[in-house]
Amino acid sequence: MHPLIAPSMLSADFARLADEADVVTGAPGEGADWLHIDVMDAHFVPNLTLGLPIVQSLLKATDVPLDCHLMIEDPDRWAPGYAEAGAYNVTVHVEAAHDPVALAKNLRAAGAKAGLSIKPGTPLEDHLDTLKHYDTLLIMSVEPGFGGQSFIPEVLDKVRTARRLVDTGHLTVLVEIDGGINSDTVEQAAEAGVDCFVAGSAVYGADDPLRAVQALRSQVVEADPKRWASA
C-alpha cells in the first residue's frame, strides 16, 4: 500500500470532467488513486453539485476508481444507486443516515466499499460500533458543502484515535481526510495517520495537476517514512 491521493473534482472544470479525470491519471501507480466526487443536494448542505448521471458518465470515461462522497439527505434511499452504477467507494454522512448499519450492508451488496463520513463537530467515539460495518472512515477537516475552505487542525485528534484503533485491530477502516488538504497541511494529516488524502484546489489549481498529485504523495511518504516503507 502507498498513500492514496484522491483529487476532488469539485475543483475541476465541470465543462471538461472527462479531460480533468484524464489529466491526473498518469501511468499506473503514478497518478490519482481515486477520483473524489462530491455529491451535494442543496438540503443536507446548501450547495448543489454533481449527481448520479454525471457519475455514470465519468465511469465510462475513466478507469480511476470513483470515490463518491454523498452530502445528501436520505442516503439510505439514494446511495445504493451509486454503488450499483459502479462507484468503487460510496461514502455517506452518519449525520444523515437513518440506519447506517443496514446502509453499509446494502452498499457492499451492490458492489462498492462502504464509507462513513463525520463532520468536524461530530464525535468519533459515538460511532465506533457503526464503523465496524464500514470500509472507509472519511473525516471532514472543513464543514461539508463548499470547496476552498481552510483546514481545521483540531480534527486530527479524531484521525489519531482512528489510526490507533486500526493499528490495534479494533477497526478495519481506511482513514480518509477531506478539506483544506494542500502542501501546507498534508504532512500534518500524514503524521496523524491518514491513509487517503482528498485534495481539490491543491491539484486542479496547479499548473500541472498530475505533478501536484505526485508531490503530495511524496510529502506524505517523507512525513512518515517508516510507516510507508513497511506498507
Binding residues for a divalent metal cation, by number, are 36, 38, 69, 178
Q: Are 91 and 136 spatial neighbours (Cβ–Cβ below 8 Å)?
A: yes
Is the separation of the CB atoms in 8 and 194 below 8 Å? no
Q: Does 19 qualify as catalytic in the annotation? A: no
Using DSSP's 3-state secondary structure scheme, residue 179 falls into coil
Beta bridge partners of 177: 139, 197
User: Please, what is the end-to-end C-alpha distance for the chain in angstroms?
Assistant: 5
Q: What is the chain's Cα-based Rg? A: 16
C-alpha torsion 169→109→145→189, nearest 10: 20
| φ, ψ dihedrals at 115, nearest 5° | -115, 145
Active site residue 41: no
CB 83 within 8 A of CB 111: yes
| Catalytic residue selected from 33, 41, 135, 178 | 178
Per the residue annotation, which of 38, 41, 67, 195 is the catalytic one?
38
**Binding residue ranges:** 8, 36, 38, 69, 145-148, 178-180, 200-201
Tell me the backbone φ, ψ of residue 36, rounded to 5 degrees.
-90, 120
User: Cα–Cα distance between 63 and 1 in angstroms, integer?
Assistant: 19
Q: Coil, strand or helix: which one is 12? A: coil
- The residues assigned a catalytic role are 38, 178
